[in-house]
Amino acid sequence: MTIHKVSFLPHNKTIEVKDGENLIRAAMEAGVHINASCGGEGVCGKCRVIIEKGDVKDGISERLKPEDLKKGYRLACKSIVNQDVVIRVPVESSIDISVLNMQSTPRRTAKIQEFNFNDLKEQGLFAPPIEKKYLELPEPDSQDHLPDVTRLVSFLKLNYNEHRLVVELPVIRKIPDILRQNNFKITATLARPVQEGRKTHIINVEPGDTSSRNYAVAIDIGTTTVYGQLIDLISGEVLAQFGEFNDQISYGEDVISRIMFAEKGNGLEKLQEVIIGNINSIVKKLVKRASVSLDEISGITLAGNTTMTQLFLKVNPKYIRRSPYVPASTIYPPIKAVDLGIKVGEHVTALVYPQISSYVGGDIVAGVMGSGLYRTEELTLFMDIGTNAEIVVGNKDWMACAACSAGPAFEGGGIEFGMRAAKGAIEDFSIDPVSLEPMNITIGNVRPKGICGSGLIIIAATLFELGIIDNGGKFNRDLNTNRIRERDGVWEYVLAWEKDSQIDRDVVLTEIDIENLIRAKGAIYSGCQTLLEEVGLTINELDRIFLAGGFGSYVDLEKAMVIGLLPEMDAEKIIFIGNASLMGAKMSALTNRIRKDVVEVTKMMTNFELSETSSYMDHYVASLFLPHTDLQMFPKLKARLDARRKQGWK
C-alpha cells in the first residue's frame, strides 16, 4: 500500500495518508480546518487551496477560473492525493476562532438584556438541582455496627431532614475508603428531583469539606459554534466561558448536509465523535481558566437544535429531513456524561433540553426559558436568526412556534466572498453618494478578505437607499463609476480592489449575492408574517421582539428594517438577548424550577409547519423585494425614499 506525505502551510502540519485519499479528509485528520460549506460536493467553492509542491489528481471545478488554476488553486474536496504534496491554505479558506471570544461593541443595534442572577434569587427561582453537604459522621465502634451507607443516610435524615434518599452503586463502591480517608468527615453530593415527592440521589462522596466548590457546565451546541460556561452553583457566578467553531462544519455547513453525511457508512459515529471532541476541548479550557478540577464539576446541561441533539446523542437523524419530518424523540432522559464520552467525573449527569419538532429544537426551548418569555404577560416575538430561523410568539398564557430555512447567506454561504465573522470580514460600510467610493470597516481593522452577515445587510441596505441597486437587487448600470461592472455575465460592485485586500482578487458583491440575501431575509420575514397571521396578530400588536444568537449582537436594526429582514417598528421594542440557548442551559443548571417548568412549556408550544401553511408561499413571494412588494408596511423607509426622490435622487 502506497503512503504519501501531505504538508499543510502555514500550519506546518504533515500527515501520512493512503494513496487515493481525499485532500479535505486528510486536512480533517491533520486537524487543519478548510472551509467546506457544501460538505464536499464541490459546489460552494469555499475549500480553495494552493498546490505549492507536487500535485493532486483532479481538484478542478467550474468554481475555479482559468486564472485561479494558473496560480495553483484547487478545490480540496475534489482533490485526490497520489503523491507527496505541499498545500497552502489561503486566508480566505481558513477559520478564525478569535472573534468567537471577543466582546462585541455593537452600534445602532438592539438594546441588550443580560442574564441577572439577582432577579433569579428575588423571584425565588434559585435552587440548584445539585447540592453539596459537609458531614461529620460518627465513627463505628464496638457498640455501633451500622453499615457505611446506612450511617450516611441516617445522618442526612436526622441532621438535614433529608428523606427518600437513594445511594447509587458507584457511590456505594467509594464509601468505605472515602469515609476512612478523613476520619468519617466527608462531603456528599445530592441531586435533587425535578418533581416534588421523588427521590433525592446521592451521586458522589469526597473526603473532607469540599462543599464550597460545586460547579456545573452549560453548553450550547450550535450548528456553527459551540459555547460553554462554567458556573459556580453556590454564588451563581459564571467563572469562565469559551466558544469554538463546531468541527462538524468540515462535514457540512448546514443540518441537511450533516444528516446526509450521517447516513453514509460510519458518518453518524464520526459526527458524534467530533462534537464530543468540541465539548471536551471547551470543558478543558473552562476548568483551566477558572482553576477548577474536572472532579469538582457536578452537572452538565446542554441545548441544541433537533439535528445537533440527535448527532450529539448518536441518534439517527435521517428522518428529520424526510416527510413528514419526524424527530426520534422530543424528550431525552438524564444520561451519564461519561457514557457519551464527555471527560468529567463518572457521577456527572448530562441533561439535554427537550425539542418541539424536527426544526424547532432544544436551543429554542432553552431560549424561551432563559429569556423569561414564558413568564411574561407581554406579547413577545422571539427570533433566532441563522441558517435556520426559528420564531416563537406568545406570552405566559400561550405560545406558537415555527421554523423556516433561511439558507446560509447570513453566515457567508451562497455569497461569493461571504464568510463568518472573523478578522478581515467587512462588518460596516458606507459610500460616498457622489463618487460612489466605499468605506469598508472590517473586524480587527485589517484589510478586507470577505463579507460577514452583518456587513452584508449594511452594504445591501446602503446601496438600496442610495439608488445604486433597485428593489429587485439589480445594479443601476448608468452610474458613472468603475466600481460597478459586469464580469462573466454577472453585474457586481467592487468593495475592495485586489491591491487593497488580503487576497489575490478583488472583493466584490454580485447581483447573485444580493438575490441570495433577498431570499434569506424573505424566508425569515414571511415566516414571521405567517406565524403572526395564524395566531391572529399583526406586527403592531407586539409589545417587543427578542433577537437571539450571536448574529443578533451585530445586526444594525435600521439597515435590517431597510432590507425587510425585520419588521419596521420602534427600535426600543427590540431587545438583544445574546446566546439564549446558553442562557437557558445556564438557568437549568442553577434552578430546579426551570427544569420543572420546561416540561409544561413544551406542552403549551404549538408548532406550525410553514411548508404546510398555504399563506406562507404568498408571503414569501411578496418578500422577495427590498424591503417588500408593499412599501406601505415600511412607512418610515417610504418617507425617506420619497424625500430623496424629491431632491433629485434616482
Q: What is the pLDDT of residues 321-332, one digit of tens each?
A: 998 889 999 999
Model pLDDT, residue 263: 94
Rounded to an integer, what distance in angstroms lies between the CA atom of residue 352 and that of residue 448? 40
Q: Is 612 left (phi over 0), alpha (psi -120 to 50) or beta?
A: alpha
Model pLDDT, residue 105: 35
Q: One fold for both 3-94 and 367-406+518-643?
A: no
Rounded to an integer, what distance in angstroms lies between the CA atom of residue 87 and that of residue 274? 24
Q: Which of the four pLDDT bands, split at 50, 70 and 90, describes residue 22?
A: confident
Model pLDDT, residue 291: 96
SS3 83: coil
Q: Which of the four pLDDT bands, split at 50, 70 and 90, describes residue 106?
A: very low
Q: What is the DSSP code (8-state) at residue 294? A: G
Check whether 409 has a pLDDT greater than 90: no
Q: Which of the four pLDDT bands, split at 50, 70 and 90, describes residue 644?
A: confident
Q: Which residues are CB-neighbours of 497 under 8 A, at least 6 positions away?
A: 506
Rounded to an integer, what distance in angstroms lies between the CA atom of residue 412 and that of residue 136? 59
Check whether 102 has a pLDDT greater than 50: no
Lowest-confidence range among 81-85, 104-108, 510-514, 520-524?
Answer: 104-108
Check whether 149 has a pLDDT greater than 50: yes
Q: What share of the chain is helix, strand, coil (3-state, %, to 5)?
A: 35, 25, 40
Check whether 110 has a pLDDT greater than 60: no
| Phi/psi at 221 (5° precision) | -95, 95
Model pLDDT, residue 385: 84
pLDDT in tens, 447-486: 899 999 989 999 999 999 999 999 999 999 999 999 999 9
- Greater model confidence, 648 or 178: 178
* Residue 198 burial by Cβ neighbours in a 10 Å radius (0-12, 13-18, 19+): exposed
* Residue 275 burial by Cβ neighbours in a 10 Å radius (0-12, 13-18, 19+): buried
pLDDT in tens, 235-277: 989 999 999 989 998 888 788 889 999 999 999 999 999 999 9
Rounded to an integer, what distance in angstroms lies between the CA atom of residue 78 and that of residue 59? 4
Quickly count: other Cβ atoms within 10 Å of residue 554's Cβ: 22
Is the Cα torsion angle 66, 71, 72, 74 positive or negative in sign? negative
* Sheet-wide strand order for 3-9: 13-18, 3-9, 85-88, 48-53, 73-75
Q: Is the pTM of this model over 0.85?
A: no
With respect to CATH, is domain 3-94 assigned 3.10.20.30? yes
Rounded to an integer, what distance in angstroms lies between the CA atom of residue 13 and that of residue 86? 10
- The beta strands (E) that lie in 511-639 are given as 544-548, 574-578, 605-608
With respect to CATH, is domain 215-352 assigned 3.90.1640.10? no
Check whether 103 has a pLDDT greater than 70: no
Topology (CATH level 3) of domain 367-406+518-643:
Nucleotidyltransferase; domain 5 (3.30.420)
Check whether 35 has a pLDDT greater than 80: no
Residue carrying the nine cell digits 459546489: 43
Closest CA to 131 of 175, 191, 171, 208: 191
Q: Which of the four pLDDT bands, split at 50, 70 and 90, describes residue 96?
A: low
Q: Which of the four pLDDT bands, split at 50, 70 and 90, describes residue 565?
A: very high
**Can you count the helices (H) and strands (E) in the chain?**
16, 30
Is the Cα torsion angle 459, 518, 509, 61 positive or negative in sign? positive
Mean pLDDT of 614-627: 94
Q: Provide the pairing of β-strand 450-451 with 425-431.
A: parallel
* Sheet-wide strand order for 130-136: 130-136, 185-191, 200-207, 165-167
Domain ranges of the chain: 3-94, 130-207, 215-352, 367-406+518-643, 409-516
Closest CA to 257 of 244, 265, 248, 246: 248
CATH among 1.10.150.20, 3.90.1170.50, 3.10.20.880, 3.40.50.300 for 130-207: 3.10.20.880
Mean pLDDT of 196-207: 90
Q: Cβ distance 588 to 486 under 8 Å?
A: no
